[in-house]
């Protein structure tokens, strides 16, 4: 039997030979890209890829054939990625998404709920020179922006305890709006009731459907009945209007003070690290120099392994995926739209090459936003 070190030397030699052949194959891919750029031909040729895989792996023993096919496929994908990047270098106008430089200074900013809502606080933090206006529902926020009544809508998209706000994601696509800004706010809920109420008087709590699960332990420890209302500040307003000591609201301190309520308990969320991310949406896709996140929505073809291929492609461009979730496609049962956030700026060559590739190869893709997450 040979020494391990001796076998390893042979492996090194084989790897070096593969490296030379890989570089040669990639230089051929570059040549193909240049030819295709002239004739405006598509890069992705699934039939040619299938032919390569079938012919080159023919006659191999089954177990190794599977491994060789995977090696071939990964080389062909590298070739495609290299070609997209090269074509964009030669013809930058092929980039299919055109963000505006910057957002025109907004005059009207809408949020859902009533004054004192966390969404109002987020709107003021994002646009300090605007006086935010409230409408009753998220759908009305989106409608107002689409119809030009508002320049900007501020809505929540995710909470670290309660998760994604699915309805907002559905509205983003339904109303064809874009994410331009993002703001993360620490959320500390309090229990608020009409003046003179004691904790033991409270039998029911009302709040937003996302705020109630954030305070699950507190609600069950005190054996309270949970009632959903449209907004945390609306909850505070309801408690004030009803004047009933058995009903309390889970809301912000600001909302409790605004509606003249006593704060019976503070920081009642289960997780002390409780944060919500809000977004500002408008009719325009923008990309500012400081933006370091892009969000896309896409459909995948009905075939095995396609989602993992998309995620792998993102990684191949040296880009980090930061979030992924899916929503059902209402008109196609058991099919999904995927939402992915990743790092980078839409002016980066790697980001543009990735988006160009996904645009060419997926049945549907939309860049739904470009924004900045501070402290990176």
Nearest alpha carbon to residue 166 among 339, 351, 342, 355: 339
Question: Is 360 a residue that touches ligand PRE (CB under 6 A)?
Answer: no
Question: Is 49 a residue that touches ligand PRE (CB under 6 A)?
Answer: yes
Which one from 161, 164, 197, 276 is the annotated catalytic residue? 276
- From the list 44, 186, 335, 364, which residue makes contact with ligand PRE (rule: CB under 6 A)? 44
Question: Is 32 a residue that touches ligand PRE (CB under 6 A)?
Answer: yes
User: Maximum CA pair distance of the chain?
Assistant: 89
Q: Return the H-helix or E-strand segment holding 47.
A: helix 46-57
Cβ 359 to ligand PRE, closest distance in Å? 15
Place of tokens 């058991």: 334
Cβ 311 to ligand PRE, closest distance in Å? 19
The alpha-helical segments, DSSP class H, found in the chain are 4-39, 46-57, 62-90, 118-126, 138-146, 166-174, 211-214, 216-221, 232-242, 253-258, 306-316, 349-361
Q: Is 278 a catalytic residue?
A: yes
Q: Which of 44, 98 has the CB closer to ligand PRE? A: 44
For residue 240, give both structure tokens. Answer: 């004030």
- The total of other beta-carbon atoms located within 10 Å of residue 372's CB is 16
- From the list 37, 80, 280, 296, which residue makes contact with ligand PRE (rule: CB under 6 A)? 80
Cβ 30 to ligand PRE, closest distance in Å? 10
Cβ 363 to ligand PRE, closest distance in Å? 17
| Residue nearest ligand PRE, Cβ-based | 79
Q: Which stretch binds ligand PRE (CB under 6 A): 48-56, 110-118, 168-176, 274-282?
A: 48-56
Cβ 49 to ligand PRE, closest distance in Å? 5
Place of tokens 């291929």: 309
Q: Which of 50, 308 has the CB closer to ligand PRE? A: 50
- From the list 8, 13, 48, 241, which residue makes contact with ligand PRE (rule: CB under 6 A)? 48
For residue 333, give both structure tokens. Answer: 């049962």
Nearest alpha carbon to residue 208 among 185, 189, 183, 186: 189
Of 1-30, which residues contact ligand PRE (CB under 6 A)? 29
Q: Which residues contact 334 (CB under 8 A, 6 or more apart)?
A: 328
Question: Is 258 a residue that touches ligand PRE (CB under 6 A)?
Answer: no
Place of tokens 């529902």: 137
Cα 96 to chain center, whole Å? Answer: 20
């Amino acid at each position: 039997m040979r020494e391990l070190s001796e076998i390893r030397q042979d492996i090194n030699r084989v790897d070096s030979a593969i490296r030379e052949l890989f570089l040669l194959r990639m230089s051929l891919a570059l040549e193909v890209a240049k030819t295709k750029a002239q004739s405006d031909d598509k890069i992705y040729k699934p039939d040619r890829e299938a032919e390569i895989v079938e012919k080159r792996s023919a006659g191999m023993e089954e177990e190794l054939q599977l491994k060789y096919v995977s090696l071939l496929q990964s080389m062909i994908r590298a070739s495609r990625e290299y070609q997209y990047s090269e074509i964009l270098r030669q013809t930058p106008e092929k980039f299919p998404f055109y963000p505006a430089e910057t957002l025109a200074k907004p005059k009207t900013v809408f949020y859902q709920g009533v004054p004192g809502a966390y969404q109002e606080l987020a709107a003021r933090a994002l646009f300090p020179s605007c006086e935010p206006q409230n409408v009753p529902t998220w759908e009305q926020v989106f409608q107002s922006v689409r119809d030009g009544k508002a320049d900007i809508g501020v809505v929540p998209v995710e909470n670290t305890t309660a998760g994604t706000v699915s309805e907002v994601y559905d509205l983003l696509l339904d109303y064809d709006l874009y994410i331009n800004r993002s703001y993360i706010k620490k959320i500390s809920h309090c229990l608020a009731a009409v003046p003179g109420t004691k904790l033991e008087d409270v039998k029911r709590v009302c709040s937003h459907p996302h705020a109630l699960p954030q305070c699950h332990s507190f609600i069950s420890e005190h054996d309270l009945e949970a009632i959903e209302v449209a907004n945390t500040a609306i909850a505070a307003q309801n408690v004030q209007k009803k004047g009933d000591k058995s009903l309390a609201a889970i809301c912000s301190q600001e909302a409790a003070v605004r509606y003249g309520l006593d704060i019976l308990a503070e920081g009642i969320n289960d997780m002390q690290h409780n944060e919500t991310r809000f977004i500002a949406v408008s009719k325009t896709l923008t990309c500012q120099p400081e933006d370091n996140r892009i969000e896309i929505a896409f459909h995948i073809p009905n075939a095995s392994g396609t989602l993992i291929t998309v995620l792998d492609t993102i990684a191949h461009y040296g880009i980090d995926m930061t979030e992924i979730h899916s929503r059902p496609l209402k008109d196609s049962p058991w099919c999904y739209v995927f939402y992915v956030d990743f790092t980078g700026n839409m002016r980066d060559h790697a980001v543009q090459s990735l988006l160009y590739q996904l645009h060419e190869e997926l049945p549907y893709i939309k860049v739904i936003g470009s924004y900045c997450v501070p402290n990176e």
